[in-house]
Amino acid sequence: MMSAVAEDLEAELSCAVCLDVYKDPRLLTCGHNFCHTCLLRVWENQDANLQRYSCPECRTVFEDYPATQRNIKLSNIIERIQATFPEGLKTEVCANHGKPWEFFCKEHKTCLCRSCLEEHKTHQYQLLEDAKAASSRLASDRAKLREQVIQLFNGIQETLNVEKETVLALVDNEKETSLTLLETVIGQLKRHGQAAVRNLSKGICEKLRQEKSTLMEPPRLIQQKTVSSTTLKPSVLPKPIRSLTLKPSTHFTLDPNTAHCNISISDDLLSAQWVASPLPHPAHPERFRLHPQVLCGQGLSRGEHTWQVEVGGTRRWEVGVTCKSRDQAWVDSCISWALRWDGRRLQVFEGHKRYSNPKLSTIKQAPALIQVHLDCGQKTLSFLTAEEGLLHRLSINASGPVFPGFYLEESFVKIRKQEIIQKPIIT
């Protein structure tokens, strides 16, 4: 059986393109490493006419063909670890059955041998080689998309610069024009210009979301509704949800007026899920515009409140709380305080500030049931699971009532009618 240490080392020493342990690792100036052959394959698939190349992981663009450097120290580390764990770092061999991996389960994002396949035969799966090829194609396609978006916005910027010079020349020439009239024109430019940019950005994002499923969908052997994933990271089957002591708490329901156009709300207002095609939600000043998010309708400012939600999906979800500011800027912002699963790990965020702890670092599988405990008096927000207990506790400084909220990307959430597992022990 592969040790936990070997599994962690294997995850850290895996190429982001082929998802195997590095072979002849090459270091880019942005700090990321890749197999030499993987880099060559990705760059060969990028548009040669653009004469631009990018990092497959962070998308840093290089104007000239990057001169890669062999990472000698990383190569030596891999050789030493392979000698220490001769079985653990043979990434093509199943640790449970000792057989070669031949398939990839999309639902649980894990590699399978023929023995493992019996437990996953009802899931959506594909040949391992097809999954690896799809991952490589996806990295190349994403780089092409990034270049197209950069070119588009560069063109927009050039157009705006031309228009700016035209308007400035008009202001300079019309010396007799009253200051009030000029201020009116400038105000109109501000309003219409910002609205045009927002609408254009929203249209591009919606178009990319519509195309995402086609772009990301690799060849498959079984047709199911599960959204595909190209992450080839081994994992284990989900643990059963454990029932814990419940007692009454605040009854929460989702607010449809806040739901992003890619979020579908159930009739009972207790469930939400991400959908690929934008929905015709009516316009509302509190509707999220940039991020696939939705809030509950109940704002909390006093007392203690605990709620329980079921979460799942193949990509990213967040559970947390946020404030509504008077200037409505919050509709373009992420949830203020949140627990995030990004497909690989759990993290806690306060705005853009990221938190982690040893317990979060050991969780390699997304929990299916989350409890959130808000203590308005102590100004704390806690996240718990039945299996792990307290995951993390945040100190929050809210300027007004906070609303439970969710971020859903190829994911879903369901609010339980009885929301409390037991009040977390304050440590």
CA distance 99 to 397: 53
**pLDDT tens for residues 121-160?**
788 888 877 877 777 677 777 777 777 788 788 878 888 8
pLDDT of residue 218: 36
Return the SS3 of 144.
Answer: helix
pLDDT of residue 165: 78
pLDDT of residue 236: 37
Which residues have a Cβ under 8 Å from the Cβ of 399 and sit 6 or more positions away? 323, 325
Please name each of the domains of the chain with its CATH number: 256-415 (2.60.120.920)
pLDDT of residue 49: 52
pLDDT of residue 423: 46
Which residues have a Cβ under 8 Å from the Cβ of 412 and sit 6 or more positions away? 271, 272, 273, 274, 311, 312, 313, 317
What is the CB neighbour count within 10 angstroms for residue 155?
A: 10
Distance of CA 136 to the CA centre of its chain: 19
pLDDT of residue 90: 45
pLDDT of residue 332: 80
DSSP class of residue 43?
Answer: H
What phi, psi does 320 have (nearest 5°)?
A: 180, -155
pLDDT averages per 10-residue partition of the chain, 427 residues: 58 81 88 88 67 77 80 84 59 70 79 82 81 73 76 81 75 56 63 66 63 40 33 37 44 93 94 93 90 93 92 93 82 88 89 85 90 93 91 90 94 79 45
pLDDT of residue 198: 67
CA distance 2 to 93: 10
pLDDT of residue 181: 56
pTM (global) more than 0.85: no
